[in-house]
Amino acid sequence: MSIRTPLARVRGLGSAKSGTGHFWHQRLTALANVPLTIGFIVILVSLLGRNHAAVVQILGSPLVAIVMLLFIGSVTYHMKIGMQVVIEDYVHDETWKFAAVIANIFFAIIVAAAAAYAMLKLSFGV
């Protein structure tokens, strides 16, 4: 029997102590991804049929580079959070769960870093 009040037990945020934060981050990145994805699609469609020099020039412009970098950051963070939730919910062995969460973190960082490097290299010249 616990001597803690029901409110004190609720404020503990559950066993992981971060469920509410993940929930809000997932929702906020989903909301941010809507206009960023629209911008990404508009940029992608504008590149269709252009030669390499024109593509490099368009992707190298500051506004396009900023939209693309925001898109990369938001999408990869959203992906990381979503996969972490799936791993925590469906992987039951603690060792495999830990390994999968770590692999998920590294995968998201590698994808974001590679995409951001490519965009920055285009923006600042080859």
Which stretch of DSSP H or E encloses residue 105? helix 94-123
Mean pLDDT, contiguous 10-residue spans, the chain (126 residues):
70 60 91 97 96 93 96 97 95 95 98 96 83
Residue 3 has what pLDDT? 73
Return the half-sphere exposure (C-beta side, CA atoms, 13 A cut-off) of residue 82. Answer: 12
Rounded Cα–Cα distance for residues 121 and 71 (Å): 16
Residue 50 has what pLDDT? 95
- The CATH number assigned to the domain with range 20-123 reads 1.20.1300
Q: Residue 123 in contact with residue 116, Cβ under 8 Å? A: no
Residue 7 has what pLDDT? 73
